[in-house]
Amino acid sequence: MAPPSSRRAGFSKKAQFSLFTGYLLAGGGALLGAVLLALSLWQPEAFAPLRGVAGEVVAPVGSGTAVARSSGQGFFASIAAYFNAGAQNAELRRENELARIRLAEADAIAAENRRLKGLLGLRDGESKPVAVTRLVGSTATSGRRHAYIGAGSASGVQPGMPVLSERGVIGRVLETGRNSARVLLLTDSESVLPVRRATDNVIAFAEGRGDGLLRIRLVNLGVNPLKVGDMMVTSGAGGYYRPGVAVAVIAKITPDGGIARLVAEPGATNFVSVLPVHQAQAIAELEAPESVGDRPSPAPTSAASASAAVPPATAEE
Amino acid sequence: MERLDPRARSDIYGRRINRAPDPWRVRLVPYASIMLASVLPVLLIADTMPLLPSLGFLLLLAWRMVRPGLLPLWAGAPLGAFDDLVSGQPFGCAIFLWSLAMIAIELIETRFPWRGFWQDWFTASVMSVVYWLASLLFSGASLTPEMVGAAAPQALLAILLYPIITRIVAGLDRFRLARARTID
């Protein structure tokens, strides 16, 4: 089909000018976009308030679909259970799975207790969640793995706070709006989380690969002690997460660690809880000298750099 | 006349006598549908890989192809700004790419004024694959082979969805021009 004749300017000065203005505006738009893109790649949190407003609009709709999603999951689960061995079976299996995770976490706590026996007064109380909410949405078209939750700064949610489900770690709060917040999921390729094996002290970093699996990179290289089926839990290094929360199960061994599957899949989660930052004071002290020259970034890499226990270079200045 | 055939004095846009299209609907439907398509994928929980291609971009392409001249040349920038707020890409990514896409289609149209469905599909496929790759590059994360592999179905889906989306846009266009207003 031919373009409409209004696209052809002919001898009309007005048509020529309006065509030219169209090109000029479009070119200007592209240029503006390029500048904004460069700016937001350089300073990722620059446009957080704008996105927060957009999140406010999406969150109420998302909470509706979240209810529908969870009831839909229940519906399919009971059908599946009927075909297997009755509806009870699914429920029991779920509980069994949870118990297995809890058992692994208990192993982790036992190991930690042994380790801390010599240190007096270094005991953390169970922290209360800041907010319990639903996952209301995610960035399903982007290469990044972010999710939205239905609680924001009005309920006390701050960037950096860990987000957990009843099974384990989901991710970390990246930006907050008033009643919604954006969460960096563990599977995002920019997510790094210090972990250790539940049973002993093998420490590693769990990095998202961007395809739903985590790459476990051991800190101490040498003989790879990991085995398929090992449970990795948070080590608490970096101060953001409480130690001993389930993260992933090793599925494949690689020379420098392994490939692990998530324990808590966000897609199968109904409710999540936002916990306060575990060692907020220590993090504030670590980041304070940094903030003179550089802004404290909520990016997950700061957890890695903090956990390496290297004082920032600017501290000496 | 109506007794013989109820649709004698009407066409696909409805009855013709003393009816006119709603001016608001005529102007707003393209923009509203593109913005709605930007928001819809947010409601899915995608924890392992991207589930859908950018529906907003596909709808923009389809509106531009089905109704040339309806969206102004600069429409990519404001619509892209809205898409950036919800898509999870760094702000500015869609403003930049959607503007470029609008200019590119304009140039293609001046070069090949007589287009057909297959050529439109080919153009849209090439553009959506380029857009997919550019979005991955500009996503703010370092590109890994696993990430590209996980996102590959997105590109395939974008190509396959185009004919369906043009049908949806054609339906929306009939809705847009339906004679909803009665002239007294």
Are the beta carbons of A208 and A190 closer than 8 angstroms?
yes
A 10 A CB-CB count for A141 gives 32
Q: A211 and B49: CB-CB below 8 Å?
A: yes
Task: Tell me which of A92-96, A102-106, A221-225, B125-129 is least confident.
Answer: A221-225
A86 C-beta neighbours (distance < 10 Å), count: 12
State how far the Cα of B93 lies from the Cα of A282, in Å rounded to an integer: 36
Two structure tokens written together for A53? 């407003």
Q: Does some domain include residue B94?
A: yes
Hey, is the C-beta of A187 within 8 angstroms of any chain B C-beta? yes
Block residue for tokens 């699914």: A90
The rounded distance, in Å, linking the Cα atoms of B6 and B101 is 44
Residues in chain A, overall count: 317
Q: For B90-105, what is the mean pLDDT? A: 92
> Is residue A293 scored above 60 in pLDDT?
no
Domain that holds residue B164: 11-182
CA-nearest residue to A135 within chain B is B45
Banded model confidence at residue B29, pLDDT cuts 50, 70, 90:
very high
- What are the residues whose beta carbons fall under 8 Å from the beta carbon of A227, sequence distance 6 or more? A250, A253
Q: Test A44 with B140 for CB contact under 8 angstroms.
A: yes
Using a CB-CB cut-off of 8 Å, the residues of chain A touching B154 are 141
- Domain holding A198, by residue range, is 46-116+133-291+302-309
In a domain, B5, yes or no: no
Structure tokens at A206: 């769990």
* B32 pLDDT more than 80: yes
What is the distance in angstroms between the Cα of A95 and the nearest Cα belonging to chain B?
23
Q: Are strands A271-274 and A169-176 parallel, antiparallel or unpaired?
A: unpaired
Neighbours of A289 (CB within 10 A): 16
Distance separating alpha carbons of residues A149 and A183, to the nearest angstrom: 7
Residue A164 lies in a domain: yes
Q: How far apart are CA A87 and CA A214, in angstroms?
A: 33
Residue B171 counted as domain residue: yes
Q: For residue A11, is it within any domain?
A: no
> What ipTM is given for this predicted complex?
0.81
Cα separation, A25 vs A22, in Å, equals 5
Beta strands in chain A (DSSP E): 131-138, 146-149, 162-164, 169-176, 181-185, 192-197, 203-208, 213-218, 231-234, 246-254, 257-262, 271-274
Residue A312 — very low, low, confident or very high, per pLDDT cuts 50/70/90? very low
CA A41 to CA A64: how far, in whole Å? Answer: 33
Q: B76, B101 in Cβ contact below 8 A?
A: yes
Cβ atoms of B180 and B79 within 8 Å: the answer is: no
Total number of domains constituting chain B = 1
Q: What tokens appear for A231 in the block?
A: 């449970």
Tell whether A154 is covered by a domain. yes
Instruction: Indicate whether B161 belongs to any domain.
Output: yes
Task: Please state whether beta strands A203-208 and A192-197 pair in parallel, antiparallel, or not at all (unpaired).
Answer: antiparallel
Q: What is the pLDDT of residue B144?
A: 80
Any domain includes A33: no
- DSSP 3-state assignment of A136? strand
Is the CB of B47 less than 8 angstroms away from the CB of A189?
no
Task: Tell me whether residue A6 is in a domain.
Answer: no
Residues B170 and B66: beta-carbon distance below 8 Å: yes
Residue A269, both tokens: 């989660």
Residue A300's pLDDT is: 45
* Distance between CA atoms of residues A258 and A273, nearest Å: 28
Predicted pLDDT of residue B20: 87
Which of B77, B90, B154 has the CB atom closest to A29's CB atom? B77
Of residues A154 and A68, the one with the higher pLDDT is A154
Task: With CA atoms as reference, report the closest residue to A49 among A163, A185, A180.
Answer: A180
Q: Tens digits of per-residue pLDDT, A157-170?
A: 999 899 998 888 99
CATH number of residue B118's parent domain: 1.10.1760
In a domain, A279, yes or no: yes
| pLDDT category of residue A118 using cuts at 50, 70 and 90 | low
Instruction: Pick from B39, B42, B49 the residue to mutate for testing the A interface (most A CBs within 10 Å).
Output: B42
Whether the full predicted model's pTM is greater than 0.90, yes or no, is no
Report the alpha-carbon distance of residue B159 to residue B165 in Å, rounded.
10
In a domain, B100, yes or no: yes
Q: Is residue B68 part of a domain?
A: yes
Read off the pLDDT of residues B65-96 as tens digits, 9 standing for 90 and up: 998 888 989 999 999 999 998 888 888 999 99
Backbone region of residue A121 per phi and psi (left: phi > 0; alpha: psi in -120 to 50; beta: other values): left
Contact B74 A40 (CB under 8 A): no
- Exposure on the CB side of residue B85, measured as CA atoms within 13 A: 19
pLDDT digits (tens, 9 = 90+) for A2-55: 666 556 677 888 888 888 888 899 999 999 999 999 888 888 777 888 888 887
In a domain, residue A271? The reply is yes
Of A86-100, A187-201, A277-291, give the lowest mean pLDDT range: A277-291
Domain assignment present for residue B3? The answer is: no
Write the DSSP string, B113-165.
-S--HHHHHHHHHHHHHHHHHHHHHTSSS---HHHHHHHHHHHHHHHHHHHHH
Span A260-286, pLDDT tens digits: 998 888 887 878 899 888 877 777 777
In percent, the amount of chain A with pLDDT more than 70 equals 80
